[in-house]
């Protein structure tokens, strides 16, 4: 009798150095409910996927900036970006891993975690306050949702989504294929409001 396959478990210590740096950079500007999935066997075009939520659109932009800046210091530049200036769904492609930064209602709408339901989740060991989403679930859903991210310009196979009825309505714009968006505008000290959204609260750890 064949023994059942063992469930592979991953911890934060298993993450590539650059992916861990991306996660830390996102947390430093207040990213919430991070999920990391090991998708090598289910995606065919990358190994890891990091998904995080922001509470407001400006925070989503800040997360994208923070991730890109942190990885630039490690000598890594994204192969492409999409939506990083819109504040609803920013995607950064680093080849062996992808970073999705969502305005939380958009994350719930597209529900990528369900799309990769067979992928092992990484046990990150973060504080409950970071993982809590109850205060995010009552945020207003945008009237117009962003286009679906994750087409051929991010390394997926041409038929990656062809057989998935859930995504039949999200066709790629041929003019945008293989064309990353313009570089993300760097935040400046003159930006106003909600600065407390972009700082991790370490007060509990200090007590």
Please name which of 147, 138, 39, 141 lies closest in space to residue 91, comparing C-alpha atoms. 147
- Give CA–CA dist 28/18, Å, rounded: 15
Residue 163's pLDDT is what?
Answer: 47
pLDDT at 40 over 70: yes
The CA distances from residue 6 to 3, 118, 207, in Å, are 9, 14, 40
Q: What is the pLDDT of residues 53-102, one digit of tens each?
A: 999 999 999 999 999 999 999 999 999 999 999 999 999 999 999 999 99
- Hey, what are 199's tokens? 């700082």
- Hey, what are 98's tokens? 């992808």
pLDDT band at 141 (very low <50, low <70, confident <90, very high): very high
Residue 3's pLDDT is what?
Answer: 43
The better pLDDT of the pair 168, 48 is held by 48
Residue 182's pLDDT is what?
Answer: 34
Q: What is the pLDDT of residues 90-137, one digit of tens each?
A: 999 999 999 999 999 999 999 999 988 999 999 999 999 999 999 999
- Give CA–CA dist 148/137, Å, rounded: 21
The answer to whether 31 and 198 are in contact (CB under 8 A) is no
Please name which of 81, 88, 91 lies closest in space to residue 54, comparing C-alpha atoms. 88
Domains recognised in the chain with CATH numbers:
10-202 (3.30.460.10)
Q: Computed from CA positions of residues 27, 125, 88, 168, in that sequence, does the dihedral angle turn out positive or negative?
A: positive
Residue 149's pLDDT is what?
Answer: 80
The answer to whether 125 and 12 are in contact (CB under 8 A) is yes
- Give CA–CA dist 187/96, Å, rounded: 27
Stretch 140-168: mean pLDDT, rounded? Answer: 62
Residue 151's pLDDT is what?
Answer: 53
The answer to whether 122 and 37 are in contact (CB under 8 A) is yes
pLDDT band at 200 (very low <50, low <70, confident <90, very high): low
The answer to whether 23 and 35 are in contact (CB under 8 A) is no
pLDDT band at 197 (very low <50, low <70, confident <90, very high): low
Q: H or E segment at 23?
A: helix 17-28
- Single pTM value for the model: 0.73
The answer to whether 88 and 63 are in contact (CB under 8 A) is no
SS3 180: coil
SS3 90: strand
The better pLDDT of the pair 7, 128 is held by 128
Q: Computed from CA positions of residues 25, 28, 29, 31, in that sequence, does the dihedral angle turn out positive or negative?
A: positive
Q: What is the pLDDT of residues 161-195, one digit of tens each?
A: 454 444 444 344 434 433 333 333 333 333 444 44
pLDDT band at 21 (very low <50, low <70, confident <90, very high): very high
């Amino acid at each position: 009798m064949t023994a059942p396959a063992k469930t592979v478990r991953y911890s934060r210590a298993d993450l590539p150095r650059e992916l861990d740096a991306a996660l830390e950079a996102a947390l430093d500007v207040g990213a919430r409910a991070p999920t990391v999935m090991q998708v090598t066997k289910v995606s065919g075009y990358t190994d890891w996927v990091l998904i995080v939520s922001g509470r407001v659109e400006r925070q989503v932009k800040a997360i994208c900036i923070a991730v890109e800046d942190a990885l630039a210091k490690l000598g890594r530049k994204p192969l492409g970006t999409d939506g990083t200036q819109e504040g609803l769904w920013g995607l950064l492609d680093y080849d062996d891993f992808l970073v999705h930064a969502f305005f939380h209602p958009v994350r719930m709408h597209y529900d990528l975690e369900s799309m990769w339901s067979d992928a092992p989740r990484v046990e990150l060991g973060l504080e409950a306050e970071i993982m809590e989403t109850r205060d995010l679930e009552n945020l207003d859903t945008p009237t117009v949702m962003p286009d679906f991210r994750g087409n051929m310009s991010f390394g997926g196979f041409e038929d990656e989504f062809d057989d998935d009825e859930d995504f039949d309505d999200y066709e790629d714009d041929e003019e945008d294929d293989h064309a990353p968006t313009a570089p993300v505008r760097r935040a400046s000290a003159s930006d106003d409001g909600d600065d407390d959204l972009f700082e991790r609260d370490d007060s509990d750890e200090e007590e």
